[in-house]
Amino acid sequence: MTEAAIFLVVTVDSGAEDVVAETLPDFTGLVRSVASRSVEAHLTCVVGIGSALWDRLFSGPRPDGLHPFIPLAGDIHTAPSTPGDMLFHIRGGRMDVCFEMATQLMSAFGDGVRVVDEVHGFRYFDMRDIIGFVDGTENPDGPAATVAVSITDEPDFVGGSYVIVQKYLHDMDAWNALSTEEQENAIGRSKWDNIEQDDDTKPTNSHTALTVIEDENGVQQQIMRDNMPFGRVGSDEFGTYFIGYAAHPSVTEEMLTNMFIGKPPGNHDRILDFSTAVTGGLFFVPSVEFLDDPPLLDDESATDQTTAEPDESHRDADPSAAVTPSTPSDPGDGSLGIGALKPR
């Protein structure tokens, strides 16, 4: 986990597609320019493209796993789908460098790109969440991380990734009213030393019990989380920004289904009784090579796409209709290596 991160989710106005298309090929150079001003901060930035924007920008094949975020509605808790055409995941060793990257990005993309969600995250003690538990323990490392996040079975998008983001707000008063043992049972780990409970002890509705995904052969399917805590004392807003990269979104979607719908249905994640999801988005993360030379629409096609009604399905998705996604059959420097730019 880096010391600081900024998450920007933006929408693109109808008619602003040309500016976005012209700016995307300059994205990698812009990140390198800002990063070079403070090399020790190890600034990186990832850009993700949403489903509705994809067809307004690009010609040719479409990523197989790219679709609007699927809203989920369990008996008690819901995971909403919220607007978002692009995601910028900015991370580094200092917040000032991350902030400079964010301001330069928004300046480059212009007034037709509007921020609909902005979260400034920070490292909290020894990689703990605001609720006091270590986050990201199950993340893969080294070559396993590259395998977990990198697309290999889509010829046109090899080296890319998929990312799902959600902003969670915590009810800290209710959480802190629990005993340490009750908190540990909700997470499935000890609080102080971060040891996972054994299967005989761990409740079936604990967070760790519901978010371990295995294939038909019993092999664990992994994703790469880069969650960050955030908070504003004056507004009493405390939360976790969940961000999960994967080679296919179905792995993360199955985790979320287990959490919100339950496994079995009705056995929802105990942490949701204290943590509410207020946003939800799914994005395709292109490789650096794709960004440097994207297959943009020609002028005639772009005109047709601009005048047509954009895909609004993700904006009006009904969270009351529970949808269960189908089950899917490292550079070594701390970056993900997929659309993740660092100084060269």
The residue ranges of the chain whose pLDDT is under 70 are 298-344
What sign results for the dihedral spanned by CA atoms 14, 17, 18, 22? positive
Asked if 249 and 297 count as a contact pair (C-beta separation under 8 A), the reply is: no
What is the residue-averaged pLDDT of the chain? 87
Residue from 221, 213, 247 nearest 337 by CA: 247
Q: What is the pLDDT of residue 266?
A: 96
Asked if 4 and 122 count as a contact pair (C-beta separation under 8 A), the reply is: yes
Q: What is the pLDDT of residue 298?
A: 64
CA–CA distance, 207 with 202 (Å, rounded to integer): 10
CA–CA distance, 154 with 46 (Å, rounded to integer): 20
CA–CA distance, 269 with 100 (Å, rounded to integer): 38
Q: What is the pLDDT of residue 268?
A: 97
| 135 included as an active-site residue | yes
Global pTM reads: 0.86
Q: Residue 219: what are its φ and ψ, rounded to 5°?
A: -90, 130
What the block records as the tokens of 235 is 């507004």
Query: Going along the chain, which residue ranges are E strands?
Result: 4-12, 44-50, 72-73, 78-79, 86-92, 113-122, 161-170, 213-214, 220-221, 224-225, 228-232, 237-246, 275-277, 281-285
Q: What is the pLDDT of residue 224?
A: 95
Q: Which entry of 85, 135, 226, 269 is annotated as an active-site residue?
A: 135
Q: What is the pLDDT of residue 326?
A: 38
Q: What is the pLDDT of residue 260?
A: 98
